[in-house]
Structure 1
């Protein structure tokens, strides 16, 4: 299956991603205020302790290894015969979910503010819902087959 992409698709895709970013920002802001949780640093690892750091890096390394293995296996197969669970989009989705679940568990178990894990769970649910909506709707009809 080949998708033809017209030039305006990039503008629409960027618009959808910007809107998602703004909505996610306000969602996080409201949930943080509601749960009285401090803001995390942007693009930082925010490890709770050394155990969390080790588990997180183990997940990262395993996902990267799975991506290389998946690429080498799926390249040898026909496009329609590839393994969906070795595709990059699925492995990235799995990484986000696993990483955030581990973070939520560590926050629940070890964080000073016990509401931090609730914030992480709400944020994960919001992101998963968005990603599922995007894939189920072909990015809201932006990608036409």
Structure 2
């Protein structure tokens, strides 16, 4: 049942992000850019360096918090709050580089919209304990 909820949540998240992007494209007249699936789509070398720095720092932080949650029996929220911060930092950096250095700065609007939907979905999931984590 847990994996059914996770799968349904991922499908709902995907559909919501696509809808938000569709409406933002129509509202702000943003043309669609082709992006490859599962690629990093860095704007320039500085973006790549900053992005990898954030990812590395996030990995170390998440492993530390996960250790504390599992072995030191801290509450699961001790792990989830940094996850929110990592998501916000990742999307914010991408939006900044799209706005500042890309050929189409309006793409930053779509990135911010995607971030809002993603963070809202995480917040709703954890606030109402939809995965029955019991925190």
SS of residue paired to 1:52: helix
- Which residue number in structure 2 is paired with residue 4 of structure 1? none
1:46 aligns with 2:41: yes
- TM-score, length-normalised on structure 1? 0.75
- Which residue number in structure 1 is paired with residue 64 of structure 2? 69
- Which residue number in structure 1 is paired with residue 18 of structure 2? 25
- Which residue number in structure 2 is paired with residue 122 of structure 1? 113
Over aligned residues, Cα RMSD in angstroms? 2.5
Larger radius of gyration: 1
Count of aligned residue pairs for this structure pair:
132
Provide the C-alpha distance between the structure 2 equivalents of 1:72 and 1:64, rounded to a whole number of angstroms.
12
Provide the C-alpha distance between the structure 1 equivalents of 2:99 and 2:133, rounded to a whole number of angstroms.
43
- Which residue number in structure 2 is paired with residue 131 of structure 1? 122
Provide the C-alpha distance between the structure 2 equivalents of 1:124 and 1:101, rounded to a whole number of angstroms.
8
- TM-score, length-normalised on structure 2? 0.80
Farther off after superposition, 18-27 or 125-134: 18-27
User: Any stretches of 5+ residues in structure 1 without a counterpart?
Assistant: 1-7
Query: How far 1:63 moved relative to its partner?
Result: 0.8
User: Any stretches of 5+ residues in structure 2 without a counterpart?
Assistant: none
Query: How far 1:14 moved relative to its partner?
Result: 2.4
SS of residue paired to 1:106: helix
SS of residue paired to 2:58: helix
Query: How far 1:19 moved relative to its partner?
Result: 2.3
Change (3 A) 1:134 1:112: same
